[in-house]
Structure formats: structure tokens, C-alpha cells
Structure 1
């Protein structure tokens, strides 16, 4: 199964339109146009067909996580409180 097949199946299963996929990719600062995106969903024998690389699929999956779950909460930068000074 190719990356194009995985991308197509996710698109159908999640009922995503091209503009939604573009927005999902923008969540991870990956820019792509609708025409570039449509090349991934064409048949392999079509002259404008393009293979979906690992980077594009990875960015789509990372953006999809943000789209479905929301952004990852920011980690607290303060150090943990030590219990050295507490008496028992």
C-alpha cells in the first residue's frame, strides 16, 4: 500500500474536502495548494499524478492529530518542588 493509497483512504473515511486538508496541513506550517494536493488523488496512469512522499503524509497525520484533539498543551517550565525540607 502506497502513501497515496493511505492518504486517499483517510480522506474518504474522514470525509475531508481539499480545502480542509490544506487547512490541516497549515496547522503544522506545511503549505500546499489545492492543485498540488489533487495530484496525489489521481490515478497512477494520469499524466499529472504525483507520488505522496513520506514528509507530506507525516505532516498531514501530525496536523490531523491537532485538528481532532486540539493543540498540545504547553509544558510548565517551572522546576518541580523538592521535598527535601519537609519534616516527617
Structure 2
């Protein structure tokens, strides 16, 4: 399973639109445009397909934590405790 597959499955499972994903990434100061995001959701053989890197997925997951739980009181991203 690729990072693109994980991102697609999370988008469907959480009923997220592309603009919401962009806002979630902005929570961790990770900038991505709508066209870049659209390229991640294309089929692998499409000419505009772009593989999702580890950094983008990691930042999305960290932003999703903030989006769902709210920011941590000390302003840092929470690690496993």
C-alpha cells in the first residue's frame, strides 16, 4: 500500500474535501496547492500523477491530530507517551 493509497483512504473515511486537507496541512505550516493535492489522488498511470512522499503524509497525520484533538497546550506536537 502506497502513501497515496493511505491518503485516499483517510480522505474517504473522514469525509474530507481537498480544501479541508489543505487547511489541515496548514495547521503544521505545510503548504500545498489544490493542483498538487489533486495530482496525489490521480491513478498511478495518469500523466499528472505524483507520488505522495513520506514528509507530506507525516505532516498530514500531524495536522490531523491537531484538527481532531486541538493544539497541545505547550504548542508542540505530541509524541507517544
Task: Please give the TM-score of this superposition, normalised by the length of structure 2.
Answer: 0.91
Q: Indicate the residue corresponding to 2:33 in structure 1.
A: 33
- RMSD of aligned residue pairs (Cα, Å): 1.0
Task: Please give the TM-score of this superposition, normalised by the length of structure 1.
Answer: 0.83
Structure 1, gaps ≥5 residues long: 76-88
Higher helix fraction (1 or 2): 2
Q: How many residues align?
A: 75
CA distance in 2 between counterparts of 1:18 and 1:68 reads 17
Structure 2, gaps ≥5 residues long: 76-81
Structure of higher CA gyration radius: 1
Tell me which stretches of 4 or more aligned residues in structure 1 moved more than 2 Å: none
